[in-house]
Structure 1
Amino acid sequence: MRIGIDLGGTKIEGIALSDQGQELWRERVATPQGDYQGILQAIAGLVQRAEANLTLTGSVGVGIPGVLSPQTGKVKNANTQCLNGQALDQDLSQLLNREVRLANDANCFAVSEAVDGAGQGKSLVFGIILGTGCGAGIAVNERPLVGANGLSGEWGHNPLPWMTPQEYPGSPCFCGRRGCIETFVSGTGFSRQYSQLTSHNLPGDQIIHRMRQGEPAASQVFELYCDQLSRALAHVVNLLDPEIIVLGGGMSNIDELYPELNRRLAADVLGRECVTQVVANRHGDSSGVRGAAWLWGR
């Protein structure tokens, strides 16, 4: 049995999978706010209840909203601030009396889709979460690619390529720079660009509804969004050349994205040809927690 934990800012979700990927158990609890010891106990409680309910012992993988520094062995870049500077894997290993594997939540998404999701059978999968922010992860032969600095997949904090004069220098990003890919292709960026054009603040789903009703401004912003995301994905293809790119997060639910991106991408890639397909995820909101469970492989 493989137990996966998805540690989020507001909830912690646990799942238990069989060796074949069948879901055996699932539970969610609220994330203790600003309480590192409380988070440790909440994760341990999920693991213990899974094993008690199923009368099985499992491996444990945890997806986190940050990375484990290869240099210090401690968490960095986590939105859940109390995790930063903590040896989370070691503390959980001691608490649970077994090795615990950690990975960035976007890497868990990529692993999930590579193992038994939309990227199944592909050796190099680039997984992107387009939500409030923008995260990405890389799975190579169903394993997360971490990198020497723990930063593999942090594509959203590179500058948007080939900016137009209207786009330059871009909006400020929380990372301290301007014009990051995240500020354009996240759901927040999509809404911001609509607001700049119309002076109306609307969530992405309402903008898409207006686009489908034929509103010119919504159609214009969606066209711009597709162009920006295609340019950003071309950098991924030029650098990594993945076999498949899998989208997750709220923006991935827009069906019109896929034909547009697959039509545009070749024109933005070096050599003007591209067989890499951009596809929707298979496991939806469950992909992160499933990927955490699959950190132990099949």
Structure 2
Amino acid sequence: MTPTTIAFDLGGTKIDICRMTKFGEILWRQSVATSDLEPGDPSFLDRAFALFAEHVCEGDDKIGLSWNAPVHEGRLTQSSLLGGRINVDLAQRLKQAFSCDVQVESDVHAMVLGEYRFGIGAAAAPILLINLGSGAGIGYHDGRLMRGNTGGAGLVCLEKRYIPEIGESLILDQLLSGRGVARVHEKLTGATLAAAEVASRASQGDDAALETFAIIARQFGAYLVTLSRLFNPRSIVLAGSVSRAAPLFLDAAKDILEREVEPACRPELVTVSALAAPACVGLA
């Protein structure tokens, strides 16, 4: 039997589980609602490890784990899933629990590893990946993953932006995300809708939903300008749930990028990832 990798991508909404070949081919995939494991305090970790044990099988010679928080050398020092500040060596605990190779990364680092190996590829590097899912974190790869001193490289998602259309300041984590789409739409209309429903209404020509994504486009365009000047990537790749609504905001954001960024800092490509489960695939 050819050895396989099993990877677990722990996010705020769901836990993605994939069994893969070493070439990034997904053989089996399943999702579990994160809420089923009752996140919010350190005991979540015990329930997560019980979930891992249910799915690791004899043919798996590697376990990959990605987490929606900074990871440094396999260690977590903060996580909303675990209630805030924490100090836990995930890699060591995995090695003790399972007789496998292990790899532990933040979610955006795992995603950009997948994009570099199995997505747009090394020829498109330097690659800047933006995860528009639960927040707007980034990963950067140019033959080597940018990690930062304590694993926190990419936390520009905590920068605050004033949104004049709704008269409110939000950090980018709260804006360029599914909850951000829902919040902007609610401030415009008073209606509480999930981001997917707002996107559906925008696709059908609803004025308030279209204005919601116009606001997202303007803010995301400004974000792209800042990131392009900071990192000067050749390629920018979008991943995460909000990237699926890219037809509603990406062209307008790219227009802002084209207009405002100096040619020396302008990326050659801005696109949406075509990878399924990029965080898991990055750990193959």
Q: TM-score range by the shorter chain?
A: 0.7 to 0.9
Alignment partner, residue 210 of structure 1? 201
After TM superposition, list the pairs within 5 Å mapping 1:36-75 onto structure 2.
36-47=45-56, 49=57, 52=58, 56=59, 58-69=61-72, 74-75=75-76
Q: Distance in 1 between matches of 2:53 and 2:78?
A: 23
Conservation of the 8 A alpha-carbon contact between 2:127 and 2:142? yes
Q: Which amino acid aligns with 1:129?
A: N
Q: Distance in 2 between matches of 1:184 and 1:131?
A: 10
Match of 1:278 among 270, 273, 278: 270
Report sequence identity in percent: 25
Change (3 A) 1:13 1:231: closer
Match of 1:288 among 274, 279, 284: 279
TM-score of the pair, normalised by structure 1: 0.78
Alignment partner, residue 153 of structure 1? 154
Alignment partner, residue 89 of structure 2? 87
Change (3 A) 1:168 1:145: farther
Conservation of the 8 A alpha-carbon contact between 2:214 and 2:249? no
Match of 2:116 among 114, 117, 127: 114
Q: Which amino acid aligns with 2:45?
A: Y
Match of 2:22 among 19, 23, 32: 19
After TM superposition, list the pairs within 5 Å mapping 1:117-128 onto structure 2.
117-119=119-121, 121-128=123-130
After TM superposition, list the pairs within 5 Å mapping 1:4-15 onto structure 2.
4-9=7-12, 12-15=15-18
Q: Distance in 1 between matches of 2:33 and 2:210?
A: 38
1:24-74 residue CA offsets vs partner (Å, 9 max, x unmatched): 344556764434334234324423x1xx3xxx452332111222346xx63
Q: Which structure shows the higher strand fraction?
A: 2
Conservation of the 8 A alpha-carbon contact between 1:44 and 1:92? no
1:97-144 residue CA offsets vs partner (Å, 9 max, x unmatched): 344221001211121122112456322222222234333322332x53
Change (3 A) 1:218 1:57: closer
Alpha-carbon distance, 1:283 to partner: 1.8
Q: What is the DSSP-based 3-state SS (H/G/I as helix, E as strand, rest coil) of the residue aligned with 2:236?
A: strand
TM-score of the pair, normalised by structure 2: 0.82
Q: Which amino acid aligns with 1:275?
A: P
Conservation of the 8 A alpha-carbon contact between 1:114 and 1:120? yes
1:200-250 residue CA offsets vs partner (Å, 9 max, x unmatched): 222223333333333333332322211110101111111111121111222
Alpha-carbon distance, 1:90 to partner: 0.8
Alignment partner, residue 266 of structure 1? 258
Q: Which amino acid aligns with 1:100?
A: V
Q: What is the DSSP-based 3-state SS (H/G/I as helix, E as strand, rest coil) of the residue aligned with 2:188?
A: helix
Q: Distance in 1 between matches of 2:19 and 2:196?
A: 32
Alignment partner, residue 198 of structure 1? 189
Gaps of 5+ in 2: none
Q: CA RMSD in A?
A: 2.9
Q: Which amino acid aligns with 2:177?
A: S
Conservation of the 8 A alpha-carbon contact between 2:112 and 2:129? yes
Q: What is the DSSP-based 3-state SS (H/G/I as helix, E as strand, rest coil) of the residue aligned with 1:86?
A: strand
Q: Which amino acid aligns with 1:58?
A: D
Aligned length: 273
Q: Distance in 2 between matches of 1:159 and 1:37?
A: 34
Q: Which amino acid aligns with 2:254?
A: N
